[in-house]
């Protein structure tokens, strides 16, 4: 049996899930056509997806085209930018990517991103123009937009005949046949029309374009093309098939997920045009795990064969309170029950039962060969990992988008901290575009993702699956304090309450220095302060620098020199000198020119060239500094900048809006800088309010 792994990817709302349902129904895999609005689809089965009526997770449905001896693993991926990690998962596991594009709204940002990622990962591509039954849809305008955006690779193979501004029939340019569909999606062959009724496209021109595209795939075909000899139907099919596999032909078809018109022809293309796992070429892997900290070298070709050692690539993990599920693709060998496998850490596990996947339903199977996609039970693995027996190999994992939107989270109910920690760790294993950790300065727990909806869904899953509810707030900025002047102050602690008293007396000189840690020195002469009390003085100061005098933020860049003092032979002790140091600190800091410091981050912002001016202007408003602009690829540039985190907390939302989702960025901490004096009063007030 031939195996075809096919992902649906593209912009949200273009009809990916609806197309998946139509394909399943027309293939006989389901007996009714599910809809997202009714919550009856095979692919969108998660409670969050049903509630929100859009795809959140990557889902898989395996079905057979029995008459053609083909097994299809159909992978539906999310289109919302907040859940882009799912698109990376699905395209990684696929050999061909179907990109639905609405005939009403045309090429969108998600279309470009899906096409670009598929091309980057070497996947074959096909575009389906959807929603063709909409009165405002226009196939040929959309085709023109596709050609403008993606160039000469765009090759229409199924086109409509237009009559009275509506689609009358379909022409299969490969077969050179025309079909008319009834209201149940059944096709009837009709006489070939001579005119498409579109001012920009002629039938003979489209046929000629297919021949030219096919000629590009093979020297012999190119020679035949120049000789003016027509290609046979088999030569056209093989040429498009090879062109898809090489990434130089992207066929375009049309279909309606509502009336099912064109769905049967799309299923036919699965068989004729789409490459299988073997035809997609041998994947590269690294031999061994490499030294610690060393990047693996992916140079070893892995033959896609049912024989040989087993190798599985894990592309998705599903968090579940009753045991996580692992979705894996068999890259080599044959998987059978009770197979021992190991991961990069050398840990051995036994794969007991495994299953074929059909949405939320799974069916236990006894064998899976190279190319198949299965669900593994009771296996500890994360997306991007390789499981194998024999010599250990490792397939490259595809890194998804970097988290850029954060919220501080805290337990809503006392005592739920353990549930939250456990639940979030499971959700992080499921979604590699989420991060979670504690800010050592603000002591807050920070959850980061790709957008507000992304975090909202993660917290909803935390509640429904793991019974832990959290509250959120905007993360506090990790401000710090420092001094700008040199000051010397005495601190004297004296207490007498009957019996042994307390006495400590120090003179400490405070001055600015470089570095985050307190620098403590002593220059005491004549034993004014006994040496055994020096550690107590330092300990008192170490405790003090945890809170500054302006806003209670940690103090950095401080040097303290113990220069003088006095002691009492009976009443002096370590506690007394610790308290004396505290008094000296409190007296000196307000006089030492205290300043508030804010964290500065570096930003690498990837944007379309047309948005460069908008982004530079916005960075200036946010007190940012543009350091340079570097070209990334045609039409795309990277703006390198520095900016205070205080101003950039909602930048991801602005960037998505102004670039319509095309913008992206990564950032990292750079240094601390003095907060402008005009902002100090408001910042201090906000910090004290948060406390």
Q: What is the pLDDT of residues 435-446, one digit of tens each?
A: 998 888 788 899
Instruction: Give pLDDT, residue 466.
Output: 84
**What are 204-249's pLDDT values in tens digits?**
889 899 999 999 888 888 988 888 888 899 999 999 999 999 999 9
Instruction: Give pLDDT, residue 567.
Output: 86
pLDDT confidence of 294, banded at 50, 70, 90? low
How many other CB atoms are found less than 10 A from the CB of residue 419? 18
Is the pLDDT assigned to residue 291 strictly greater than 60? no
**What are 460-490's pLDDT values in tens digits?**
988 888 888 888 888 989 999 999 999 999 9
DSSP for residue 555: B
Is the pLDDT assigned to residue 691 strictly greater than 80? no
Is the pLDDT assigned to residue 113 strictly greater than 80? yes
Is the pLDDT assigned to residue 629 strictly greater than 60? yes
Instruction: Tell the burial category of 532 from Cβ atoms under 10 Å away from its Cβ (0-12, 13-18, 19+).
Output: exposed
Closest CA to 53 of 67, 40, 72: 40
Instruction: Give pLDDT, residue 295.
Output: 72
In angstroms, the CA 454 to CA 569 distance is 65
Instruction: Give pLDDT, residue 363.
Output: 92
Task: Please give the average per-residue pLDDT across 51-56, as a whole number.
Answer: 85
**What are 391-414's pLDDT values in tens digits?**
888 898 888 888 888 999 888 877
pLDDT confidence of 498, banded at 50, 70, 90? low
Residue scoring higher pLDDT (324 or 525): 525
Q: Angle at which helices 612-621 and 651-658 pack, to 10 degrees?
A: 160
Is the pLDDT assigned to residue 595 strictly greater than 90? yes
Task: Please give the average per-residue pLDDT across 289-299, as a whole number.
Answer: 65
In angstroms, the CA 605 to CA 641 distance is 8
Domains by residue range for the chain, with CATH: 2-272 (3.40.50.300), 284-394 (2.40.30.10), 405-473 (3.30.70.870), 487-547+556-593 (3.30.230.10), 596-690 (3.30.70.240)
Question: Which residues, other chains included, contact 459 with Cβ-Cβ below 8 Å and sequence gap of 6+?
Answer: 409, 447, 470, 472
Instruction: Give pLDDT, residue 101.
Output: 95
In angstroms, the CA 370 to CA 277 distance is 8
Is the pLDDT assigned to residue 680 strictly greater than 80? yes
Residue scoring higher pLDDT (346 or 675): 675
Closest CA to 76 of 26, 37, 22: 22
Instruction: Give pLDDT, residue 89.
Output: 93
> Which of 118-127, 336-345, 450-459 is predicted least confidently?
336-345
DSSP for residue 67: G
**What are 123-159's pLDDT values in tens digits?**
999 999 999 988 889 999 999 999 999 998 999 999 9
pLDDT confidence of 367, banded at 50, 70, 90? very high
Is the pLDDT assigned to residue 290 strictly greater than 80? no
Task: Please give the average per-residue pLDDT across 507-524, as a whole number.
Answer: 91
pLDDT confidence of 293, banded at 50, 70, 90? low
Query: Hey, which residues does 445 pair with through a beta bridge?
Result: 409, 438
**What are 62-93's pLDDT values in tens digits?**
999 977 889 999 999 998 888 889 999 999 99
Task: Give the 3-state DSSP-derived string for 102-152, with helices as H, strands as E and coil as C.
Answer: ECCCCCCHHHHHHHHHHHHCCCEEEEEEECCCCCCCCHHHHHHHHHHHHHH
CA distances from 288 to 311, 331, 395, 560, 584 (A): 13, 16, 10, 52, 60
Pairing, β 300-301 against β 158-163: unpaired
Residue scoring higher pLDDT (323 or 656): 656
In angstroms, the CA 145 to CA 111 distance is 11
Instruction: Give the mean pLDDT of the chain.
Output: 89
Q: From the centroid of its chain, how far is CA 563?
A: 56
The reported pTM is 0.86
The sign one gets for the Cα dihedral 564, 568, 574, 577 is negative
Instruction: Give pLDDT, residue 141.
Output: 93
Instruction: Tell the burial category of 451 from Cβ atoms under 10 Å away from its Cβ (0-12, 13-18, 19+).
Output: buried
pLDDT confidence of 420, banded at 50, 70, 90? confident
Is the pLDDT assigned to residue 292 strictly greater than 80? no
In angstroms, the CA 156 to CA 147 distance is 10
Instruction: Give pLDDT, residue 289.
Output: 60
Instruction: Give pLDDT, residue 387.
Output: 92
Give the CA angle between residues 540, 476, 559 to the nearest 5°: 30
In angstroms, the CA 491 to CA 489 distance is 7
């Amino acid at each position: 049996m031939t195996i075809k792994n096919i992902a649906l990817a593209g912009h949200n709302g273009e009809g990916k899930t609806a197309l998946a349902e139509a394909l399943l129904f027309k293939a006989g895999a389901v007996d009714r056509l599910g809809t997202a609005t009714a919550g009856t689809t095979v692919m969108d089965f998660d409670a969050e997806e049903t509630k929100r009526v859009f795809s959140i997770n990557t889902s898989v449905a395996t079905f057979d085209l029995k008459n053609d001896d083909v097994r299809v693993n159909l992978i539906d991926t999310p289109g919302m930018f907040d859940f882009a990690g799912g698109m990376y998962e699905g395209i990684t596991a696929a050999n061909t990517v179907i990109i639905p594009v609405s005939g009403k709204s045309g090429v969108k940002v998600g279309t470009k991103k899906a096409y670009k990622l598929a091309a980057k990962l070497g996947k074959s591509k096909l575009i389906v123009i959807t929603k063709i039954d909409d009165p405002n849809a226009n196939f040929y305008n959309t085709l023109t937009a596709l050609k403008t955006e993606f160039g000469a690779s765009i090759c229409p193979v199924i086109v409509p005949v237009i009559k009275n501004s509506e689609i009358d029939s379909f022409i299969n340019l490969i077969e050179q046949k025309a079909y008319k569909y009834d209201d149940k999606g059944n096709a009837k062959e009709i006489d070939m029309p001579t005119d498409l009724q579109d001012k920009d496209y002629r039938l003979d021109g489209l046929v000629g374009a297919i021949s030219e595209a096919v000629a590009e795939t093979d020297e012999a075909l190119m020679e035949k093309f120049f000789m003016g000899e027509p290609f046979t139907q088999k030569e056209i099919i093989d040429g498009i098939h090879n062109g898809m596999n090489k990434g130089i032909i992207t066929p375009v078809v049309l279909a309606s997920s509502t009336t099912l018109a064109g769905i049967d022809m799309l299923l036919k293309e699965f068989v004729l045009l789409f490459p299988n796992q073997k035809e997609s070429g041998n994947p590269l892997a690294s031999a061994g795990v490499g030294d610690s900290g060393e990047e693996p070298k992916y140079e070893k070709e892995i033959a896609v064969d049912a024989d040989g050692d087993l190798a599985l690539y894990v592309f998705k993990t599903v968090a579940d309170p009753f045991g996580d599920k692992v979705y894996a693709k068999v890259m080599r060998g044959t998987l059978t029950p009770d197979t021992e496998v190991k991961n990069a850490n050398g840990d051995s596990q036994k794969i007991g039962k495994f299953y074929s996947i059909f949405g939320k339903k799974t069916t236990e199977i006894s064998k899976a060969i190279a190319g198949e996609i299965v669900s593994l039970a009771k296996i500890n693995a994360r997306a991007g990992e390789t499981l194998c027996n024999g010599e250990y190999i490792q397939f490259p994992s595809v890194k998804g988008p970097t988290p850029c939107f954060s919220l501080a989270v805290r337990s809503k109910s006392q005592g739920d901290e353990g549930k939250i920690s456990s639940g979030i760790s499971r959700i992080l294993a499921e979604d590699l575009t989420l991060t979670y950790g504690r800010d050592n300065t603000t002591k807050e727990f920070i959850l980061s993702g790709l957008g507000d909806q992304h975090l909202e869904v993660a917290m909803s899953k935390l509640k429904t699956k793991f019974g832990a509810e959290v509250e959120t707030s905007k993360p506090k900025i990790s401000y710090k304090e420092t001094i700008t002047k040199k000051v010397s102050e005495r601190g004297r602690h004296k207490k007498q309450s009957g019996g042994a008293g307390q006495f400590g007396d120090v003179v400490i000189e405070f001055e600015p220095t470089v570095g985050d840690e307190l620098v403590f020195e002593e220059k005491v002469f004549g034993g004014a302060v006994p040496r055994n009390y020096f550690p107590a003085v330092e300990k008192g100061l170490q405790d003090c620098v945890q809170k500054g005098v302006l806003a209670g933020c940690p103090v950095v860049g401080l040097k303290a020199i113990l220069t003088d003092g006095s002691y009492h032979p009976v009443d002096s002790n370590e506690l007394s000198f610790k308290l004396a140091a505290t008094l000296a600190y409190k007296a000196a800091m307000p006089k030492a020119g205290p300043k508030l410091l804010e964290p500065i981050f570096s930003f690498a912002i990837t944007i379309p060239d047309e948005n460069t001016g908008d982004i530079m202007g916005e960075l200036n408003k946010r007190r940012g500094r543009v350091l340079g602009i570097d070209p990334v690829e045609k039409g795309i540039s990277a703006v390198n900048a520095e900016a205070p985190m205080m101003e950039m907390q909602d930048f991801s939302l602005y960037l998505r809006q102004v670039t319509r989702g095309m913008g992206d960025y990564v950032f990292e901490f750079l240094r601390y800088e003095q907060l402008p004096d005009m902002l100090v009063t408001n910042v201090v007030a906000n910090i004290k309010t948060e406390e």
